[in-house]
Amino acid sequence: MASIETDIRGNILVITLNRPEARNAFDRAMAQEMEAIIDRYEADPELRAAIIRAEGPTFSAGMDLKAAARGERANTPGRGGFGIFRKPPDKPLIAAVEGQALAGGMELTLCCDLVVASSSSVFGLAEVKRSLVAIGGGCFRLPRRLPYQLAMEMILTGEPKPADVMQRFGFVNSVVAPGKVMDEALRLAELIAANGPLAVRAAKVIARSSIAEGWTDEQAWDRQMKVVEPVMNSEDLKEGLRAFAEKRPAVWQGR
């Protein structure tokens, strides 16, 4: 049985971590599955948003430490750790978190653009408790998402924070009752999927690149136009303007 399952709902891809007996911890095989799924998501023009969720009471406990003790690394050559850490998709990705998102499980949420969490969920970078380092993006991505002192408290103590605290500081978009996480994640995904897919993808690339590469304002004016140019010359832009003038929903072609 696959460690990760997928389901397509309209233009939305639902990615389900399905290794609850191991707290959805990643081994090499699971990382390879994730990379293949993300590659397919990027390549399919009909898919406009994706959600990562999990079976069982834990979103993900991170790396499979038993596999790691055998010398097995949950890495792939194309997208890195967990098949996603080094190269998340250019298309939108939403985390739907129930339970614990710890260590690499939290780093998985750092690959996402939006995070929906249940009121009972917690987030933490627990690596230091096992003399490990959060090298799946945690040590450099978390200080970009949270105030420095709060990020460093999580990185250096390894202690988790509840969803309401993470929402207060902007890491979590929505906190909902347990069992309602997918409803909210799908609501957000549907809002995204209703928009022009070329424009959404370009907007994410600009936002992510500007942060990761530290663009100055002067650099950003030129660099964003290289990303936006195909959108400005697209059939979808013409359709979007026509639909606005005609007061009807746009029909996107992704070209």
Q: Which of 171, 184, 204 is nearest to 88 (CA)?
A: 204
107 is catalytic: yes
Which of these, 82, 22, 10, lies nearest to 52 by C-alpha position? 82
Both tokens of 149, joined, read 């002192």
Amino acid at 106: M
Q: What is the mean pLDDT of each run of 10 residues along the chain (255 residues)?
A: 94 97 96 98 97 97 91 94 97 98 98 98 96 95 96 98 97 97 98 97 96 94 95 94 94 92
Catalytic residue selected from 33, 107, 213, 235: 107
**124 CA to centre of own chain:** 16
Cα atoms in the 13 Å half-sphere on the side-chain side of 116? 22
Report the distance separating Cα 212 and Cα 246, nearest Å: 39
| 127 is a catalytic site residue | yes
Catalytic residue among 46, 127, 190, 235: 127
pTM of the full predicted structure? Answer: 0.95
